[in-house]
Amino acid sequence: MSVAQPFECFEVGEQTGLSALRKVTRPAPAIPPGEVLVRVRAAALNHRDLTIAKGGYGPKKPENRIPGGDGAGEVVALGEGVSGIEVGTRVTAPHFVSWIDGEFQPGVFMADLGSSRDGWFSEYILLPANALVTLPESMSFEAAAAWGAAGITAWTVLQTLGQIKPGDTILTLGTGGVSILALQIATMAGARVAITSSSDDKLAVARELGADITVNYRSNPDWAGAIRAATGGRGVDIVVETVGLATLTQSLSCCAPNARVGLLGALGGRPEQGADLGGLILGNLVLKGITSGNRRMLEELLRAADANQVEPKIDRRFSFAETLAAYEYLAGAGHVGKVVIAG
Ligand SMILES: NC(=O)c1ccc[n+]([C@@H]2O[C@H](COP(=O)([O-])OP(=O)(O)OC[C@H]3O[C@@H](n4cnc5c(N)ncnc54)[C@H](OP(=O)(O)O)[C@@H]3O)[C@@H](O)[C@H]2O)c1
């Protein structure tokens, strides 16, 4: 089966910057066996989309790669051999579409939406049927898209690695997508949240979302000291390290004994001097690299968000036609939470 009409999508182009992104029209796709065709209803941007557009995410992708790791939509047609899913079902999927459950394997990068496989910045997307997650009835397409990769990653750090429990204090850095969704997931779990930002206005938004400890890292270079002091000297139990090696020494310095640290981002680049890991031994800490997560984690996250009626923080919505403006907006780093494409 195939969709009857040609469809519009974006392509990464030469990956020399955002200006290389282009909108094209493609013929209706044939649906491979075991896959479904989904009409895209919402998509969400991640920092990674900026990196891919600049050619900085591993080897350059084919110029006709459709970007976008996160989205949600309706199944409109089934490939041969697909059963147990109906046309009209509202679905999303993890961006690593072959990682269904279990431990990370490097092979998941071979089927990565928006990177090694066509993604969501399109009117239609092909997805393996076994990667699909059905949306909870009351969850919007926008919310499901927004939770996506940033939510799975925050979930992996807080739940899988962090074993978060009520009364824990977590630290998350900056007010971008991963960090703000981590704040929201931690609040759902009954934990206290410490968060940093370059902006007092953004910290005010974080407080509205439930943050307990807020520190401006620009005006307070010893932000880690401020966070430790705000926990009565004890420190934090889990760190969502979105900035990476540039802030790791400071993050470790405000950890409580036995804290768990998920190293997942590279916003701060690669510092000239390596991080000081001495605190790992003294504090009996756990430091783990994090590579997103699997379909089961996405299912668990959406179920938790639905049960608690928590909406992911969406900073701004753009139409499909405004996708390039959405990229520019994310690159400007004025957002708090997620930037979404819908309608
Ligand atoms: N390993 C994985 O599986 C995985 C998954 C998702 C994302 N990531 C990575 O995680 C990072 C965050 O992704 P995202 O999509 O959440 O990004 P994003 O939405 O673009 O977040 C950017 C925000 O981070 C803050 N920030 C930037 N530089 C900073 C610095 N040097 N120190 C402190 N905060 C800084 C800024 O917020 P303020 O203005 O508030 O400071 C900025 O607005 C990226 O490096 C991304 O590649 C990794």
pLDDT of residue 10: 98
Instruction: Tell me, using a 6 A CB cutoff, whether residue 228 lines ligand 1.
Output: no
CA of 23 to the centre of ligand 1 (A): 27
Give, using CA atoms, the residue closest to atom 31 of ligand 1: 268
pLDDT of residue 338: 98
pLDDT of 2 > 60? The answer is no
pLDDT of residue 4: 66
Amino acid (one-letter) located at 342: A
Instruction: Tell me, using a 6 A CB cutoff, whether residue 266 lines ligand 1.
Output: yes
**For 74-127, what is each residue's pLDDT tens digit?**
999 999 999 999 999 999 999 999 999 999 999 999 999 999 999 999 999 999
Instruction: Tell me, using a 6 A CB cutoff, whether residue 198 lines ligand 1.
Output: yes
Domains within the chain, CATH numbers bracketed = 7-134+313-342 (3.90.180.10), 151-289 (3.40.50.720)
CA of 48 to the centre of ligand 1 (A): 9
Whole-angstrom distance, CA of residue 164 vs CA of residue 274: 29
**For 11-68, what is each residue's pLDDT tens digit?**
999 999 999 999 999 999 999 999 999 999 999 999 999 999 999 999 999 999 999 9
pLDDT of residue 111: 98
CA of 6 to the centre of ligand 1 (A): 36
pLDDT of residue 271: 87
Q: What is the 3-state secondary structure (H, E, C) of 186-228?
A: HHHCCCEEEEEECCHHHHHHHHHCCCCEEEECCCCCCHHHHHH
pLDDT of residue 1: 44
- Give helix then strand counts, H and E, for the chain: 9, 15
The residues, any chain, with a CB within 8 Å of residue 70's CB and separated by 6 or more, are 43, 44, 45, 46, 92, 95, 113, 120, 145, 146, 148, 149, 150
Mean pLDDT value of segment 236-246: 97
Instruction: Tell me, using a 6 A CB cutoff, whether residue 242 lines ligand 1.
Output: yes
Instruction: Tell me, using a 6 A CB cutoff, whether residue 47 lines ligand 1.
Output: yes
Q: Residue 117: which of 152, 78, 71 has the closest Cα? A: 71
Mean pLDDT value of segment 268-286: 92
pLDDT of residue 93: 98
CB 157 within 8 A of CB 238: yes
Bridge partners of 261, per DSSP, are: 239, 287
Mean pLDDT value of segment 218-247: 98
Which ligand 1 atom is the nearest neighbour of the CA of 268?
Answer: 31
Instruction: Tell me, using a 6 A CB cutoff, whether residue 175 lines ligand 1.
Output: yes
Whole-angstrom distance, CA of residue 325 vs CA of residue 339: 11
User: pLDDT averaged over the chain?
Assistant: 97
CB 52 within 8 A of CB 20: no
Mutate to test the pocket of ligand 1, among 18, 112, 178 (most ligand atoms within 8 A of CB): 178
Which ligand 1 atom is the nearest neighbour of the CA of 292?
Answer: 3
